[in-house]
Chains A and B, each alone.
Chain A
């Protein structure tokens, strides 16, 4: 069958053809970009933090009436409160290990700074060096969080210092993530090297590197340093504290329930509320709730959009079948088989959908460029558009099948009847 008579026939209802092609093009453009956004969000949500997240939970609490000054006596008093809590938590039967820590990945509460290879070059609050997030913790951080040490050694008890929350002063030892180490020392020989934190003039030695650890922030402002974490062997003393706790395998719920009474028994002068004890799974769910919501919304809109377009094709083709009822009868009377009629409508739809797909391809790329300008979007990979084209062509064929079959069932005798 040649395409010529079909195209000649399509000329007779230009407006309808243009509208279907336009609808397919718009659908393709929107669905491609929406699916791409879904893909990006899913990728973001599924990236591993570097922690062993099962059996891990976090306690955040505040002491009431604890000293709030920065004098040494207050700091010592706060540290003894913290030490007492740690001892009480570590003695729980369902707890494997506990570490004090100022934040955790995905917690959106972070202490950020910059590291440099030269002393005093990075001012406070400015980020001339390499941006990083600090985790202040102790020698049990690696085992509690389940971080993988890939080079060097862990902190020892003797390495761990403590200081007031607002005191200045940089540590003499740190553990970096491999990403940060490699960024500072591209040859990969960061271990044992000296760096300067936050523009300090005192040196800090890199004693170890962990494979991967995400920063607490999940907003786009952290995109440039999302894997650049620095572990500092320092307990921060303030009138509040956070403890990361690893429960023994399968004992997460029991350990989480035991924490509040244990802490109140150790010292009743504190505030613990419903949000104070959180499993890491909860922290993860809260951090990415907006992303998951966005992905679901985009998915639903895409499905409805495809359904509307398919319904539109069914509706319009049904009309055309009805309109050409008599002509179909004439063709059948002149010897066309049922399958010829079926193919006619299928190929007609393929031609229209292909034109729509080509326009849609350009629209999809144009829309992507627009979105890249006003939103944080990356370039749309060609694979998404190609998959989209295949999808709309398949959708068109699926939608046209029912009316096309009805057309093929028109009996030849129609040709002999008056209209």
Chain B
């Protein structure tokens, strides 16, 4: 029966080529635009560490003075050195890492490569196991290295390719700011999107090229990058940031068991109370503990232009669908005569309804195929944009399947009303007027 309906549908679509083309193009445009934007949105609001993100949390404390105090306002989005080190040493979570961004001058051994500046991350030992970073060679450093202020460095595979031609460079020396560092690890293929652990670097910025212990960066006064907020008489130079009343570090914790999250929050409150009792904190405890995905929401990582464009594309799809409903309605009603004959010959209402739905599904399928092509063109255009997320806009299998599902669902929806109207006709009336 299905193949008979399919045959009928194709015949009917062929009979009125211009109209068929119009319906297919309308659905294709709507689907193409929507799927392009939904894919971009899907990529941008994706999980940077699938399978791991639900165990990662970002604590916030409020160490500021009483000036501009507003009860319940959001605490600063970074921590001070003192609080960061206290929380790090307290080890109340399964893993914890303190970090900040910077830039270091790299002085390659070979004379053919000029010295250059490279983005760096100064962090502590747990960074690598906590974020599940893959290693091509070697490994990260240990807490002992942090404490001993070992001059060790982990580099990305890109930097390894540039300086060492992709060979295993662990054990080699890398000179940065006139200081020799021993390479102990080369990262594998890793580019978390968004750059969740420090959103001050640009929400979708690439990975830093070198990672080295935070303690060493402070010893050598390596230049810092990122955002800092000071209060009171806090503004001081970078060399004395350890004691300044400024927030400039990011602190992440891993808590494996959901039950322990509340414990950690209580710990943060107790810590704030202690600090208040000591006179360091002047405000009453105001803590937050956001999960990774929640933290991305709080920071409104997905650009508002992308959300606006997605709504525009969906609106566009709606107009295209209304357009298709109108055209299908006209088309089906015009075939009242033919449908009347089928009904008079014994086809049930259901059968006629099914036949018309097959016809709209065929249009949906064709629209989906063209819409998919348009979505590929659209994504190619998005990738040519200069924004930092542009390179990420790629179609994946989920979105590919979703495109077809959306196209067929959309055209079936568009076909429902016309098909229902068309099977309401009374066969006798149609036959009489012939």
A interface residue numbers (CB < 8 A to B)? 13, 15-16, 19-20, 22-23, 26-27, 29-30, 34, 37, 62, 64-65, 68-70, 123-126, 128, 166-168, 271, 286, 289-290, 293-294, 297-298, 301, 304-305, 308-309, 311-312, 315-316, 319-320, 322-323, 371, 374-376, 419
B interface residue numbers (CB < 8 A to A)? 19, 22, 26, 29, 33, 67-68, 105, 114-117, 178, 221, 223, 229-235, 237-239, 304-305, 307-309, 312-313, 315-316, 318-320, 322-323, 325-327, 329-331, 333-334, 385-387, 417, 421, 433-434
In the complex the two chains form, is A419's CB within 8 Å of B323's CB? no
In the complex the two chains form, is A124's CB within 8 Å of B234's CB? yes
A23 to chain B: which residues have CB within 8 Å? 319, 322-323, 326
Q: Which single residue of chain A is at the shortest CB-CB distance from B114? A: A271
B22 to chain A: which residues have CB within 8 Å? 311-312, 315
B333 to chain A: which residues have CB within 8 Å? 13, 323
In the complex the two chains form, is B305's CB within 8 Å of A271's CB? no
In the complex the two chains form, is B223's CB within 8 Å of A68's CB? yes
- Whole-angstrom distance between the alpha carbons of A19 and B26 in the complex? 15
In the complex the two chains form, is B316's CB within 8 Å of A30's CB? yes
Q: Which single residue of chain B is at the shortest CB-CB distance from A371? A: B308
B305 to chain A: which residues have CB within 8 Å? 290, 294
Q: A289-B386, A294-B309, A315-B19 are in contact. Are A70 and B237 (CB under 8 A)?
A: yes
- Told that A64-B105, A123-B67, A304-B316 touch, could you supply 16 new A-B pairs with CB distance under 8 A? A13-B333, A19-B326, A62-B117, A69-B239, A125-B231, A126-B68, A308-B26, A308-B29, A312-B326, A315-B22, A315-B327, A316-B326, A316-B327, A316-B330, A320-B330, A419-B433
- Whole-angstrom distance between the alpha carbons of A65 and B178 in the complex? 9
Residue of B115, B231, B305, B307 contacting most chain A CB atoms (<10 Å)? B305
Residue of B115, B229, B309, B319 contacting most chain A CB atoms (<10 Å)? B319
A65 to chain B: which residues have CB within 8 Å? 178
In the complex the two chains form, is A19's CB within 8 Å of B325's CB? yes
Q: Which single residue of chain B is at the shortest CB-CB distance from A64? A: B115
Q: How many A-B residue pairs have CB under 8 A?
A: 125
- Closest approach, in angstroms, between the C-beta of A326 and any C-beta of chain B? 11
In the complex the two chains form, is A26's CB within 8 Å of B318's CB? yes
Q: A70-B237, A166-B238, A375-B307 are in contact. Are A308 and B319 (CB under 8 A)?
A: yes
In the complex the two chains form, is A286's CB within 8 Å of B26's CB? no
Q: A123-B232, A124-B232, A271-B116 are in contact. Are A319 and B331 (CB under 8 A)?
A: yes
In the complex the two chains form, is A305's CB within 8 Å of B316's CB? yes
- Whole-angstrom distance between the alpha carbons of A42 and B252 in the complex? 42
In the complex the two chains form, is B326's CB within 8 Å of A304's CB? no
A301 to chain B: which residues have CB within 8 Å? 33, 312-313, 316
- Closest approach, in angstroms, between the C-beta of A221 and any C-beta of chain B? 12
- Whole-angstrom distance between the alpha carbons of A371 and B309 in the complex? 12
Query: Which of B231, B320, B326 sits near A20, CB closer than 8 Å?
Result: B326
In the complex the two chains form, is A166's CB within 8 Å of B237's CB? yes
B318 to chain A: which residues have CB within 8 Å? 26
In the complex the two chains form, is B323's CB within 8 Å of A375's CB? no
In the complex the two chains form, is B239's CB within 8 Å of A70's CB? yes
| Interface of B (DSSP majority class) | helix
- Closest approach, in angstroms, between the C-beta of B319 and any C-beta of chain A? 5
B434 to chain A: which residues have CB within 8 Å? 419
B326 to chain A: which residues have CB within 8 Å? 16, 19-20, 23, 312, 315-316
Residue of A23, A68, A125, A304 contacting most chain B CB atoms (<10 Å)? A125
In the complex the two chains form, is B233's CB within 8 Å of A309's CB? no
- Closest approach, in angstroms, between the C-beta of A2 and any C-beta of chain B? 26
Q: Which single residue of chain B is at the shortest CB-CB distance from A239? A: B223
A15 to chain B: which residues have CB within 8 Å? 329, 417, 421
- Whole-angstrom distance between the alpha carbons of A226 and B229 in the complex? 22
Minimum-distance CB pairs A-B, first 9: A319-B330, A19-B326, A312-B323, A166-B237, A124-B235, A23-B322, A125-B230, A30-B315, A26-B319
Q: A64-B115, A70-B239, A293-B385 are in contact. Are A315 and B330 (CB under 8 A)?
A: yes
Query: Which of A29, A64, A126, A312 sits near B327, CB closer than 8 Å?
Result: A312
A–B pairs, 23, beta carbons within 8 Å: A16-B326, A16-B330, A19-B325, A26-B315, A26-B319, A64-B105, A123-B232, A124-B234, A166-B237, A271-B117, A289-B386, A290-B385, A290-B386, A312-B22, A312-B26, A312-B323, A315-B327, A316-B326, A320-B330, A322-B334, A376-B304, A419-B433, A419-B434
In the complex the two chains form, is B221's CB within 8 Å of A68's CB? yes
A125 to chain B: which residues have CB within 8 Å? 229-231, 234-235
A309 to chain B: which residues have CB within 8 Å? 319, 323
A29 to chain B: which residues have CB within 8 Å? 315
- Whole-angstrom distance between the alpha carbons of A137 and B223 in the complex? 23
- Whole-angstrom distance between the alpha carbons of A70 and B238 in the complex? 10
- Closest approach, in angstroms, between the C-beta of B340 and any C-beta of chain A? 14
- Whole-angstrom distance between the alpha carbons of A126 and B307 in the complex? 31
A34 to chain B: which residues have CB within 8 Å? 312
- Closest approach, in angstroms, between the C-beta of A323 and any C-beta of chain B? 6
In the complex the two chains form, is A126's CB within 8 Å of B67's CB? yes
Q: A308-B320, A309-B323 are in contact. Are A298 and B312 (CB under 8 A)?
A: yes
- Closest approach, in angstroms, between the C-beta of B378 and any C-beta of chain A? 10
- Closest approach, in angstroms, between the C-beta of B426 and any C-beta of chain A? 16
- Whole-angstrom distance between the alpha carbons of A391 and B234 in the complex? 59
- Whole-angstrom distance between the alpha carbons of A65 and B312 in the complex? 52
- Closest approach, in angstroms, between the C-beta of A93 and any C-beta of chain B? 28
- Whole-angstrom distance between the alpha carbons of A308 and B320 in the complex? 7
In the complex the two chains form, is B322's CB within 8 Å of A297's CB? no
B67 to chain A: which residues have CB within 8 Å? 123, 126
- Closest approach, in angstroms, between the C-beta of B423 and any C-beta of chain A? 14
B116 to chain A: which residues have CB within 8 Å? 271
In the complex the two chains form, is A286's CB within 8 Å of B29's CB? no
B433 to chain A: which residues have CB within 8 Å? 419
Residue of B68, B322, B417, B421 contacting most chain A CB atoms (<10 Å)? B322
- Whole-angstrom distance between the alpha carbons of A329 and B126 in the complex? 86
Query: Which of B231, B325, B417 sits near A124, CB closer than 8 Å?
Result: B231
- Whole-angstrom distance between the alpha carbons of A286 and B322 in the complex? 39
A167 to chain B: which residues have CB within 8 Å? 237
- Closest approach, in angstroms, between the C-beta of B390 and any C-beta of chain A? 10
In the complex the two chains form, is A308's CB within 8 Å of B323's CB? yes
Q: Which single residue of chain A is at the shortest CB-CB distance from B229? A: A125
B238 to chain A: which residues have CB within 8 Å? 166
- Whole-angstrom distance between the alpha carbons of A312 and B318 in the complex? 13
In the complex the two chains form, is B235's CB within 8 Å of A168's CB? yes
In the complex the two chains form, is B117's CB within 8 Å of A126's CB? no
In the complex the two chains form, is A375's CB within 8 Å of B312's CB? no
Residue of B22, B33, B239, B315 contacting most chain A CB atoms (<10 Å)? B315
- Whole-angstrom distance between the alpha carbons of A294 and B304 in the complex? 11
- Whole-angstrom distance between the alpha carbons of A62 and B333 in the complex? 74
A297 to chain B: which residues have CB within 8 Å? 309
A62 to chain B: which residues have CB within 8 Å? 117
- Whole-angstrom distance between the alpha carbons of A298 and B315 in the complex? 12
B387 to chain A: which residues have CB within 8 Å? 290
- Whole-angstrom distance between the alpha carbons of A286 and B388 in the complex? 13
- Whole-angstrom distance between the alpha carbons of A20 and B325 in the complex? 10
A290 to chain B: which residues have CB within 8 Å? 305, 385-387
- Closest approach, in angstroms, between the C-beta of A11 and any C-beta of chain B? 15
